[in-house]
Amino acid sequence: MVAGMGIFARWARPKGRLPDDLRSQLAAEGILVIEEGVPATIIFSHYRAPGRRGNWQGNYLLAFAMTERRLLVYGGTPDRRPPSPFVNVSWDQARAGGLRALLDDGSLRLCYDISALYPDRAGQAEVRLRTGQAPAALAAAEAKLS
């Protein structure tokens, strides 16, 4: 019965929501853009990490935030571990890593070389966030990446 409760707890947890402690951190950093429950597609190509490799694509409900200090895309992972960041980098790291932000069909696309942001991994990643805040998020990202 206890094992079943863990499964139920994961199923019942709201998808695409930020934990309160993380939301507090973001507020202290000066929020530029924030949204929860954002439909998103994540694409990893030629992905390599310790114990993993391959290509995958998935659709998720995520939370994303841009603060004065960082870019965060947060949600459940493909292997059903508890929610964690897909992207959690300072603007300096994003700039150095060649992160690009683009508008594509009303979606915000974030493209980056995984190894530039996470040295123990390799491959290319694309995060497509389908949000009404895409133009505002693009403007904030361009200002921080330039």
For 59-74, the pLDDT digits (tens) are 989 999 999 999 999 9
Instruction: Answer for the pair 62, 72: CB distance below 8 angstroms, yes or no.
Output: no
Give the CA distances from residue 101 to residues 24, 27, 51, 67, in Å, rounded to whole numbers and listed in that order.
25, 22, 29, 15
Using the structure block, give the residue that is written with the tokens 């693009």.
138
* pLDDT tens-place string over residues 34-92: 999 999 999 999 999 888 899 989 898 999 999 999 999 998 765 666 777 888 999 99
1 vs 9: CA distance, rounded Å: 12
Spell out the residues 6+ positions from residue 132 whose beta carbon is closer than 8 angstroms to its own: none
* pTM of the predicted model as reported, rounded to 2 decimal places: 0.83
92 CA to centre of own chain: 17
What is the CATH architecture of 15-145?
Answer: Roll (2.30)
